[in-house]
Structure 1
Amino acid sequence: MDIRFFRLDEIEVLKSAIDVLWSKNHILSRDEELLKYMFHSNPNTNLIVKDGHFSFLGAWEGKEVIGLLGIMPFQFNQVGKKGLGCCLTNWIVAPEHRASGAGLALINFVQNLNPDMILSLGVSADGSKIYKLMRWNVQEDTPRWIGVLNKGKTAQIMLNGDTTSLRYWKEVEPYEVSTSYKCDILDDLNEASWNDFYWGSFAKKSIGIARNYLFLKWRYFEHPTFDYKVIACSENSIYKGLAVVRIEQIEGGYKLGRIVEFMATDQDSAVSLSNKIIQLDPKILFFDFYCFSSISSWGLESVGFKRILKSSNDKFVVPSRFQPIDLENTQMISAIYLSEKLRNKVNPMLDQLWYVTKSDSDQDRPN
């Protein structure tokens, strides 16, 4: 068995393997531009692969691809210290070869790259059992905050008219703030100024994939399909925070707001960004925001967002999948591997430092 990265000239082989092994007619088997964007154009790809290759692993038995594992490498941030982080996608082995050890061989290949963190978002229930057997940390339901803009329409369109799950939700509303900060939607950031803000402020109080300028430029400004609203909060050209929202169109002309970044340096920037978000578009039914911790929730909660609290009585609040609407599968399972070096450095009492959102890995992408 051979475990290696796909060469760029093997793109048709890769697309075919995704179609056959992962899912028939999957977006990555159809959209060559998106495939290249995720696994080649990423400015951090050269951290793990040589030029001329995708950061997509294949397990080969002779000329046959029997397994796949996509890897998106990034600079990792641990309270201001830099390292290597890897986000996984499309981990699969053909059923007839699952006794071959190919699946574990693919994971071992990634671990041998010596990353500080390996992250997998959107794990299946069966997949989570495998991660637990490998002694990874598994989060059965990634924290999700909801801000309802139109409660009546949300219940009508998303919940078959039943408002029970929204009984403790009020509609969000702007919070009056007196500040010299301003929030603008931008089509680019000043590289030096943003990196000064990120590494000088937010990075020092957070753990996760580094949100430096190169990451933001690639992830949001250069995305080949999605149109992200990048909102910067600043004072006298000095950044104080940033939020990123993708507005998703659904049937009936209504919209949903997917918040994928929210970084604020203080109370004024947190509230200012939240006010700007909820006034983006009156046709939005509700906003959601996934994050491993409450590091970024204060401003959102100030305008009416709440973290979903599930129980046997309340299994969901609103769906997380909308095309079609799915009221059964409303959780996002996550798995994370930390290097021994990092495990010894991370204080479990400071778990609120984790900044991992839905934009990490491949969870916010076209289907």
Structure 2
Amino acid sequence: MPKRCAATAFNARGKAAKRRLEPILRFSVIFGFASTMSSDMQSTSKNINDQLVTIGSACELGVSNQDIAAFYAVQWARPIALGRTDYLQWQFNDAPTSEAGNHSVVALDGTEIIAVMGATPRDFCVGETCKKGAELTTWIVSPKAQGRGVGGKMLRYFQSRYEVLSGAGITNQALPLYLKAEFTFLAHIPRFFYVSDFERIARFTDPHSAALSIVQRRQQMGAALTQQGQACAAFDLPGRVGQPTPDAIQWNRDAAYMQWRYDEHPVFTYEAFAIDANASNACGVVMRQDEVDGIPFLHVVDFSGPPSGYAAAGAFLEAEATRRGCAFVDISATHHSLIANLRARGWNSAVDDPLIELPSLFYPVELRRPPTTSLVFWARDDRSSLYDFGQQFYSKGDLDLDRPTLAFYEKHGL
């Protein structure tokens, strides 16, 4: 568990912040400000504006959520939800393992924020054994700080505090820093989709008729299964479904996490289902129905359960998307057994199958090639087993890939 931070956030320019800088400054000496460090380390520890750069968690430095949100609002290329204090509070302070503190890492030039990387503490589990981890997101370094070694110091700070780190949506600028810090990289997170209405799909793509015919034929590969999903709170899913495997490698999905992430989300409405709930192979899914121009579609945001139940869960999602009149249902995942089951049922790979392209962003609708994103992962120990993405069980909800845009806020009057 990360060091507990006070629930009250102080302004970085206030007296409270100044009183709390000393322990973090001692940390700065450890990571490159002392004259006994190597020349390479010293070369990355230049001061900015002739002042010491201080790096630490927001709650320990006393940096307020208001200041961090303002920094994101000014520095990020497009408006994002983390520019809103209310959403930032939910993501970083309200998570069950945050203990009401914001554990995002900030870099200060004196009292000025020059860089931020968002972080939510969360245990990373291998079977019954859990390691102290953090999900990383939305890393921004101001232009005045770029090229001064600030990014590397921020990663070293994280690595001193946590045993496992992961983040998605890696930019070309940030990737060399992650690789230098011994992270491993997945360029394309597997993403699959099932077309449930071949007329409505035309709102999002314009494929050749032959491609549609091939997709339709492939989607008939899956065995005809009739499965009912029992609606429930996400909080209840951990007690109703099994683990992917006895030695599953995944982020913690206990009831407290599921309740915060899905039942108490401040913007989105999620639906949770236990599929084949009375059997030993029960699976759980969390999904979100969305629409563009009146055309509905489904995102599978969380998926859990043993491989023996994957085919039934896939059949349920196909039937549910069709019943609702959705154009498609999509899922992002890494575990090899889940991917194999999706392929066997004829789901389309957004990366590997060159038949239909679907957008990856919907507010506004935007097609990126490839229509998925990337992932980095770091572990202090056991890398030979943990660096196998096919064994890791990631979902869209784990990767901060289902965050509302400000365009979504505006369209829905939020």
User: What's the TM-score once normalised by structure 2's chain length?
Assistant: 0.75
Question: 2:266 matched to 1:224?
Answer: yes
Q: CA deviation at 1:308?
A: 3.5
CA distance in 1, matches of 2:170, 2:347: 26
Q: CA deviation at 1:230?
A: 0.5
Alignment of 1:193-204 (within 5 A): 193-194=239-240, 197-198=241-242, 201-202=243-244, 204=246
CA contact 1:143–1:291 (8 Å) conserved in 2: yes
CA distance in 1, matches of 2:340, 2:334: 14
Alignment of 1:23-172 (within 5 A): 23=77, 25-30=79-84, 32-46=85-99, 53-115=101-163, 117-154=164-201, 156-160=202-206, 162-163=208-209, 166=212, 168-170=214-216, 172=219
Q: CA deviation at 1:354?
A: 1.2
Match of 2:339 in 1: 297
CA distance in 1, matches of 2:179, 2:236: 42
CA contact 1:193–1:238 (8 Å) conserved in 2: no
* Count of matched residue pairs: 346
CA contact 1:21–1:92 (8 Å) conserved in 2: yes
Match of 2:230 in 1: 184
CA contact 2:190–2:332 (8 Å) conserved in 1: yes
User: What's the TM-score once normalised by structure 1's chain length?
Assistant: 0.84
3-state SS of 2:396 partner? coil
Q: CA deviation at 1:295?
A: 2.8
CA distance in 2, matches of 1:277, 1:305: 11
Cα distance change, pair 167–3 in 1 and its aligned pair in 2 (3 A): farther
Q: CA deviation at 1:17?
A: 1.1
Query: RMSD in angstroms over aligned alpha carbons?
Result: 2.8
Match of 1:356 in 2: 394
CA distance in 2, matches of 1:244, 1:207: 19
Between 1 and 2, higher relative CO (CA 8 Å, sep ≥ 6) is seen in 1
Which amino acid in 2 is paired with 1:35? L
From 235, 257, 263, the equivalent of 1:215 is 257
Which amino acid in 2 is paired with 1:185? A
**What percentage of residue pairs aligned between the two structures are identical?**
18
Which amino acid in 1 is paired with 2:83? S
CA contact 1:22–1:92 (8 Å) conserved in 2: yes
3-state SS of 2:132 partner? strand
Q: CA deviation at 1:126?
A: 3.1
Structure with bigger strand share is 1
User: Structure 1, residues 9-67: CA drift from partner, whole Å, max 9, x if none?
Assistant: 7222111111122245422112x332111101101114xxxx5x312221111111001
Which amino acid in 1 is paired with 2:376? A
From 357, 374, 382, the equivalent of 1:342 is 382
* Structure 1 unmatched runs, 5+: none
Which amino acid in 2 is paired with 1:41? D
* Structure 2 unmatched runs, 5+: 1-52, 406-414
